[in-house]
Amino acid sequence: MLQDKFKNFGVVILAAGKGTRLNCTDIPKVMLEIGGKPIVSYTVDTLKKMGFSKEQIVMVVGFQKEKVENYFGDNVSYAHQEEKKGTAHAAYTGMVELPENIKDVLVLGGDDSAFYTRESLETFIEKHMESGAKLSLLSAEVEDPSMLGRVVRHPNGDIEVIEKEYLTDEQKEIKEISTGTFCFDRDWFEDIFPKMPPLRKLGEWGLPTALAMARDEKVKYQVVKLKDSDEWFGVNTKEQLEEADRRKKGN
């Protein structure tokens, strides 16, 4: 049974964001509708089809959290991120709420995972479990990566995620980007988070830092490329929201 295969796996969905660029004043970004349903509901539907129970799915909520909780009820569990301190802080906030038997955790954004298929997530989780990696990152190759950080693969096998502001001209040609979707060995992440340095400009704790720490610690980590890059779709602008809506209505 599929559920047996993933019985020691948990999921943290990052859903605390306000959606400032989309002028979300009274609704969390993940609750904006595409195809007649909240963005994040598609992610929850996919996870449920994979056999995850409500105890295995923790949604990290913050801004207007009641609207998320009222919609999903007891279909998922919740963790409250009272202060916005970055994606790594949100992931940690959710992770510590998972049951004790959970050994590995899938962390994904509630606003960019609506198009992931069950097959893609299952493949990603399986590759993480089979590899014995402490961290696995899902990447995608996109046509226009200009506004995104890049996955830089060095000849010695090291991999890093470099923010767009710090790319060299040569690195700007790279089309492989981080989706921000990770699998973590739970004990490892809970151990390194308190030691994690904040991001240089923001004073927040970001998930890409975990990859840098894995590399520095010389623990096993990997980057797995998404087969169909169209499955990763970030909603950050009105145009992207309209495009996501069109896509879901076309399904």
> Would 167 be classed as within a structural domain?
yes
**Domain containing 220 — which CATH number?**
3.90.550.10
| pLDDT recorded at residue 1 | 43
Report whether 13 contacts 110 (CB < 8 A). yes
> Would 245 be classed as within a structural domain?
no
> Would 242 be classed as within a structural domain?
no
> Would 197 be classed as within a structural domain?
yes
| pLDDT recorded at residue 250 | 82
Q: Which domain holds residue 26?
A: 2-231
> Would 57 be classed as within a structural domain?
yes
| pLDDT recorded at residue 18 | 75
DSSP three-state, residue 31: helix
| pLDDT recorded at residue 251 | 65
Intervals of the chain under pLDDT 70: 1-3, 19-21, 23-24, 201-202, 251
Q: How many folded domains does the chain comprise? A: 1
Which has the closest alpha carbon to 81: 28, 157, 119, 42?
A: 28
